[in-house]
């Protein structure tokens, strides 16, 4: 069984550091080129005043690179940890914009002060600092969004793979329950008895058995099926049980709007099998199974009166598999509880 997946943004600070370093070098590339050209000119022309060299040459350039790197690093780390959504009218979106441009303002002030200290030209500050800051800002947004897209793709891929594995395991479990020797022994015994007593009823029984086996295999090819199809299969399966157990097993279904919802295939049948496997069934202790669709809660409850067998096997893969499939397909798990002498499983419904 695949372990439950808990996806987080796993991009580490290493990515932010390398990305900020690359962006800071690219943003300052014209300044780097200009400074080193100026240094070469100073080396060839004697008595050139130092203040003519932009950003007091190499030390100033290093400071500009450090400031740009810190701005890019902090900005990328902030965007990594905050989800950007399209609804800009939402309050937290304005807060996100405010904090991003707050960082831009700090960067602009530091760089402007540094350049004013050495060059004293406001126009050069606007054309240089603002351009570099905007370049870092745009690059940070694109890089973080790209990483989030890649992370989401990986998440979807891993969820799909886990769901395929989960469905495969569920198919194996359903077929194992249906094709095990006890199932066939009981089915063939019942069929043999009916053939000798009531041929018309035996033919109906054989038709229901054929439908259950064929439909079980066909429906397993889909992740979701209409609730009406699921109920129809459950009713056919219950018909086999009612012939085997007689009036000692009862099924009551209240699901008027079943056509508006979907569920994973074999959900109801698995829960009916679970009730049969774990509870005493006799004339004095009949088993009553109820299936009710809750419109307000958008859930389907499958419950039975609780009369557990002493030697009943423990809970196996069935309920665990059901929980994982619903968490991935519906976003929430089934509710399982015992109350007032009843065992109940409430499964979330998925709109059709």
For residue 92, pLDDT over 60 is answered with: no
Give me 107's structure tokens. 């960067």
Burial 182-193 (b: 16+ CB within 10 A, else e): eeeeebeebbee
Top-level CATH class of 180-351? alpha beta
Distance CA 26, CA 142 (A): 15
Distance CA 101, CA 89 (A): 17
Question: Could you tell me how many helices (H) and strands (E) the chain has, helices first?
Answer: 11, 8
For residue 1, pLDDT over 60 is answered with: no
pTM for the full predicted model: 0.52
**Residue 121: CB partners within 8 Å, gap ≥ 6?**
115
303-350 residue pLDDT tens = 999 998 877 655 556 777 788 778 877 888 899 999 889 999 999 998
Would you state the pLDDT for residue 228?
Answer: 93
For residue 6, pLDDT over 60 is answered with: no
Would you state the pLDDT for residue 141?
Answer: 77
**Residue 122: CB partners within 8 Å, gap ≥ 6?**
116
114-118, 218-222, 347-351: least confident range: 114-118
What DSSP character marks residue 248?
A: G
13-55 residue pLDDT tens = 777 788 888 888 888 777 777 766 665 655 555 554 544 444 4
Q: Which of 96, 36, 31 is nearest to 68 (CA)?
A: 31
Higher pLDDT, 338 or 140: 338
For residue 217, pLDDT over 70 is answered with: yes
Q: Give the count of beta carbons closer than 10 Å to the beta carbon of residue 88.
A: 10
Residue 225 · residue 265 · CB < 8 Å:
yes
* Domain positions in the chain: 13-156, 180-351
């Amino acid at each position: 069984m695949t372990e439950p997946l808990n996806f987080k943004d796993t991009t580490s600070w290493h990515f932010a550091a390398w990305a900020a370093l690359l962006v800071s070098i690219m943003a300052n590339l014209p300044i780097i080129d200009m400074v080193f050209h100026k240094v070469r000119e100073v080396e060839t022309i004697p008595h050139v005043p130092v203040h003519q060299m932009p950003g007091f040459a190499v030390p100033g350039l290093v400071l500009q690179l450090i400031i740009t790197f810190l701005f890019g690093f902090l900005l990328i780390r902030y965007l990594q940890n905050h989800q950007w959504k399209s609804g800009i009218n939402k309050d937290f979106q304005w807060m996100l914009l405010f904090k991003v441009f707050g960082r831009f303002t700090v960067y602009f002030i530091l760089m402007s002060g540094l350049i004013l200290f050495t060059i004293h030209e406001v126009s050069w500050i606007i054309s240089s600092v603002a351009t570099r800051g905007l370049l870092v800002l745009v690059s940070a947004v694109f890089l973080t969004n790209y990483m989030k897209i890649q992370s989401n793709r990986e998440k979807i891929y891993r969820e799909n793979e886990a769901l395929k594995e989960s469905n495969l395991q569920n198919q194996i479990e359903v077929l194992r329950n249906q094709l095990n020797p006890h199932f066939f022994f009981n089915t063939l015994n019942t069929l043999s008895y009916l053939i000798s007593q009531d041929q018309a009823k035996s033919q109906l029984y054989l038709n229901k058995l054929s439908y259950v086996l064929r439909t079980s295999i066909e429906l397993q090819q889909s992740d979701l099926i209409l609730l009406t199809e699921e109920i129809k299969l459950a009713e056919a399966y219950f018909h086999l049980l009612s012939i085997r157990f007689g009036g000692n097993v009862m099924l009551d279904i209240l699901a008027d709007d079943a056509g508006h919802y979907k569920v994973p295939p074999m959900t109801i049948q698995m829960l009916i099998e679970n009730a049969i496997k774990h509870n005493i069934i006799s004339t004095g202790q009949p088993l009553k199974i109820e299936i009710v669709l809750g419109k307000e809660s958008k859930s389907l409850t499958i419950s039975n009166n609780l009369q557990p067998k002493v030697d009943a096997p423990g809970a196996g893969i069935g309920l665990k598999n059901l929980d994982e499939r619903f968490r991935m397909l519906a976003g929430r798990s089934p509710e399982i509880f015992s109350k007032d002498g009843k065992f109940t499983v409430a499964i979330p419904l998925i709109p059709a």
